[in-house]
Amino acid sequence: MDDGRGGKSAKIIMADKLVVKNLNAYFSQIHAVRDVSLEFEENRIAAIIGPSGCGKSTLVRCLNRMHEVVPGARATGEVLLDGNNIYDDDVDPVQVRRRIGMVFQKPTPFPTMSIEDNVAAGLTLNGVQISRAERDSVVERSLRQAALWDEVKDRLRRPGASLSGGQQQRLCVARALAVQPEVILMDEPCSALDPISTARIEELLLELKSAYTIVIVTHNMQQAARTSDKTAFMYTGNLVEYGATKQIFTNPTRRETEDYITGRFG
Amino acid sequence: MAAAASFLRGETSYRIRKFKSDGMMAITVGATILTLIPLFLVLGYLLFKGFSSLNWAFFTHMPAPVGEKGGGMANAIVGTLEVVGIAALIGVPIGVGAGLYLAANRASQFTNWIRFSADVLMGVPSIVIGIFAYAIVVRPFGGFSALSGSVALAAMMVPLVTRTTEEMVLLVPPELREASLALGVPNWRTTLSVVARTALAGITTGVILAIARVAGETAPLLFTAFGNRFWSTSLFHPINTLTVQVYTYAISPFPDWQRQAWAGAVVLTGIILALELGVRWMTGGAAKAPR
């Protein structure tokens, strides 16, 4: 496949962090993702777009084995993280999820925990033994990375649910970052947010890209165009087209992609 | 203008609808009042009859022999607290554990059967539960005991606690569970530290209501804890409880004992009322948690 990034960046050889090979995902009888193969490069943002029900959320949930959490759901095929298949029999899904974090559509701070406890939840719930000082520094680093530190540093003991929706979502980003994953999956992270909060999350994505590999599912085509390096278009469970974002949005090779992007359906 | 006014004034169909609505409202208000009348009659009569027999000695003295004035139900009050307390120690962990399991495995055939059994068990007459405890504890141990009474009450608590725990856990949004799993937290830890923790206020409410429910039971204790005229806190000997003592005194021919029975009923109602108020107070403070 043409790497399509063009210009200066084409000279840098990027490593493929995550490689998906012939992935199929099912919900009981429903075949939600059909034989999808694609790769996500390190320190890049990839966007997955497509109409509702096209399988884009299911695809990202397969990338950290969250798909199988739903009763009756299963997946076949391979997902290689640094060359190792996360679907091998001897791989513990819990370990996979520590390396591949996820942020969901709805902000989900744990209601019984304070802001700082929410950020540290991935560590404390996993029984990681750390000193108070280490914990504080993890909380501060994660909140700074999530661009939330300045807004909450004076009320870290307040409940996580006391924040606004946009702040809660950044809190969830901080919580995902605290366990130091290598890949961050985002499943429509802005669909419940107002435009200002959305802009903040998008800025955040661009800052995080230097340290993480990011895959974002979005309904918002402008968001994909603004933030991502590569874009995948999915339709009825199939990967229709995957390429450099610029090319997908200006010169798609497939008719379905063009129709969707120009708003003729979806 | 004229057209609008006639439209607003309405057709006959509107007046008929309004008439029906008022009629239905009157019926439901009437039904509510009818429901409340016996409640207040019972409580009022209980207080009227019981309060006069209630004094400090009632809480601190042992039952007096027939014909002797005074005496109290100290042993029965302690006995009720002990039997119900041990029942809670047995029944609550089993019920909460089963409820967590049912909530985590919604769809399997096995859990459907457990759920169905719990619902049936809730409807089993309490005297039958007493016979069950008699068969599995009293007979093998060779005698009535406080422990057998606790087992009987625990058997009544388990289905109640199981079902409320399940319902409360199901109120926790599945997104929270997924958020925890996505952090690489193992399933068991997610269930305990995130899901059950979030549902804790609701689960506690269910537990206290179940305790209040069994604290007022007499039938399952008649041939398990049995009753005891003397002071006993041993798990392996018969023990006195308020309900059984009230029952014994109420059917006796002696006016002194009958007065004591009224007082015992007031104390029992007071204990249950205190538990229910405790629930109100707790949920008032923490009802926002599961969301």
Q: Convert the pLDDT of each residue in B242-254 to its tens digit.
A: 999 999 999 999 8
Q: How many helices (H) and strands (E) does chain B have?
A: 15, 0
A105-127 pLDDT, tens digit each: 999 999 989 999 999 999 999 88
- In tens, the pLDDT along B133-156 reads 999 999 988 889 999 999 999 999
What is the SS3 assignment for B84?
A: helix
Q: Which helix or strand (DSSP H or E) is residue B207 part of?
A: helix B200-215
| Three-state SS at A158 | coil
Are B207 and B92 spatial neighbours (Cβ–Cβ below 8 Å)?
Answer: yes
| Predicted confidence (pLDDT) at residue B204 exceeds the cutoff of 60 | yes
Interface of B with A (CB under 8 A): 106-107, 173, 175-176, 178-186, 189-190, 193-194, 197-198, 200, 288-291
Dump the DSSP string for B25-67.
Answer: HHHHHHHHHHHHHHHHHHHHHHHHHHGGG--HHHHHSPPPPTT
Confidence class for position A7, pLDDT limits 50, 70, 90: very low
CA nearest to B194 within chain A: A110
Task: Please give the full DSSP string across B154-201, using - where no structure is assigned.
Answer: HHHHHHHHHHHHHHHHHTS-HHHHHHHHHTT--HHHIIIIIIIHHTHH
Per-residue b or e along A96-113, where b marks 16 or more CB atoms closer than 10 Å to that residue's CB: bbbbbbbbbbbbbbbbbb
Task: Look at A179 and B184 and tell me if their CB atoms are within 8 Å.
Answer: yes
The token duo for B163 is 């079902």
- Cβ contact B289–A97 (<8 Å): no
* pLDDT, average across residues A49-67: 92
Nearest CA in chain B to A169: B179
Distance from CA of B107 to the nearest CA of A (A): 9
Task: List, for residues B32-67, the tens digit of each pLDDT value.
Answer: 999 999 999 999 999 998 888 888 888 888 888 877
Q: Give the domain CATH number at B76.
A: 1.10.3720.10
Q: Indicate if the pLDDT at residue A2 is higher than 70.
A: no
Range of the domain at B262: 68-286
Shortest CA distance from A112: residue in chain B: B198
N residues, chain B: 291
Q: List pLDDT tens digits, range A158-202.
A: 999 889 988 999 999 999 999 999 999 999 988 888 888 888 889
Q: Measured between alpha carbons, how far is A62 from A70 in angstroms, rounded to an integer?
A: 11
The rounded distance, in Å, linking the Cα atoms of A73 and A58 is: 10
Chain A closest CA to B202's CA: distance in Å? 13
Q: Does the structure show a pLDDT above 50 at B290?
A: no
Q: Which 3 state secondary structure label does DSSP give A184? A: strand
Q: At what angle do helices B200-215 and B74-104 cross, to 10 degrees?
A: 140
Q: Does A95 touch chain B (CB under 8 A)?
A: yes
Residues making up chain A, counted from first to last? 266
| Cβ within 8 Å, pair B183-A121 | yes
Whether B279 shows a pLDDT value over 70: the answer reads yes
B185 domain residue, yes or no: yes
Number of domains in chain B: 1
Strands A183-187 and A30-41, sheet pairing: unpaired
| Within-domain flag for B261 | yes
Q: CA gyration radius for chain B?
A: 25
A192 in contact with chain B, both atoms CB, cutoff 8 A = no
A125 and B200 within 8 Å at the Cβ level: the answer is no
Paired sense of beta strands A73-81 and A84-85, if any: antiparallel
- Would you state the pLDDT for residue A196? 86
pLDDT at B158: 96
**A112 closest CB neighbour out of B183, B184, B289:** B289
Over the Cα atoms of chain A, what is R_g?
Answer: 18
Q: What is the token pair recorded at A90?
A: 């001897």
Instruction: Return the structure tokens found at A118.
Output: 């929410």
Phi, psi dihedrals of residue A234, rounded to the nearest 5°: -115, 145
Mean pLDDT, chain A, integer:
89
Res B106 pLDDT > 50: yes
The whole-number pLDDT of residue B104 equals 84
Average pLDDT over residues B274-284: 80
Q: Is the confidence at residue B73, as pLDDT, over 50?
A: yes
A84 touches chain B (CB under 8 A): no
Q: What band does B4 get if pLDDT is binned at 50, 70 and 90? A: low
pLDDT value at B6 more than 70: no
Query: Helix B174-182 vs helix A165-178: angle between axes, to the nearest 10 degrees?
Result: 30
Distance from CA of B289 to the nearest CA of A (A): 6
Say what the pLDDT of residue A109 is: 94
**CA gap B238, B35 in Å, rounded:** 39
Cα A113 to the center of its chain, rounded Å: 24
Q: Is residue B62 part of a domain?
A: no
> For B163-179, how does the pLDDT look when each residue is reduced to its tens digit (9 = 90+)?
999 999 999 998 999 99
Cα–Cα dist A171/A168, whole Å:
5
Please check whether residue B59 lies inside any domain of the structure: no
Q: Does the distance separating the beta carbons of B181 and A125 come in below 8 Å?
A: no
- How would residue B291 be classed by pLDDT, with cut points 50, 70 and 90? very low
| Residue B31 forms part of a structural domain | no
- Residue to mutate among A94, A114, A217, with most B CBs inside 10 A, is A94
Long-range contact list for B11-18, CB < 8 A, 24+ apart?
A: none
**Which candidate in B170, B185, B291 is best for mutational testing of the A interface (most A CBs within 10 A)?**
B185
Of B263, B239, B231, whose CA–CA distance to B250 is shortest?
B263
Alpha-carbon distance B93 to nearest alpha carbon in chain A (angstroms): 22
> Which chain B residues have a beta carbon less than 8 Å from that of A122?
183-185
Residue of A nearest to B108 (CA): A71
For chain A, which domains are there?
Answer: 13-107+183-261 (3.40.50.300)
- pLDDT tier, B9 (very low <50, low <70, confident <90, very high otherwise): low
With contacts defined as CB-CB under 8 Å, which chain A residues touch B175? 104, 106, 108
CA angle A229, A230, A236 (to 5 degrees): 150
Angle CA(A193)–CA(A196)–CA(A198) in degrees, nearest 5?
A: 50
The per-residue pLDDT for range B90-102, each reduced to its tens digit, is 999 999 999 999 9
Residues B63, B55: Cα–Cα separation, whole Å: 13
CB contact under 8 A, B175 and A106: yes
The residues, ordered by sequence, that sit 6+ positions from B221 with a Cβ below 8 Å of its Cβ are B83, B130, B149, B152, B153, B227, B241, B243, B244
Q: Given B179, B184, B197, which is nearest A112 (Cβ)? A: B197
Task: State the Cα–Cα distance between residues B221 and B154, nearest whole angstrom.
Answer: 12
* Structure-token pair, residue A40: 């996500």
| β-strand partners of A102 | A185
Nearest CA in chain A to B201: A112
- The pLDDT of residue A14 is 61
Give dist(CA B183, CA A204) in Å, integer. 20
Q: What is the distance between the alpha carbons of residues B7 and A62, in angstroms, rounded to a whole number?
A: 59
Question: What's the token pair of residue A187?
Answer: 């499943």
Hey, are the CB atoms on A176 and B182 less than 8 Å from each other? yes
Give a yes or no: residue B97 inside a domain: yes
* A65 and chain B in contact, CB less than 8 A: no
* A77-91, A205-219, B3-17, B108-122: range with lowest mean pLDDT: B3-17
Question: Is the residue at B252 inside a domain?
Answer: yes
- Assess A28–B contact: CB distance below 8 Å, yes or no: no
> Looking at the predicted structure, is the pLDDT value of residue A249 above 80?
yes
- B179 → chain A, closest CA residue: A108
Minimum-distance CB partner of B179 among A64, A104, A112: A104
pLDDT greater than 60 at residue A129: yes
Mean pLDDT, chain B, as a whole number? 88
**Tokens of residue A22, six digits:** 């012939």
User: How many Å apart are CA A231 and CA A260, to the nearest integer?
Assistant: 13
Residue B129: inside a domain? yes
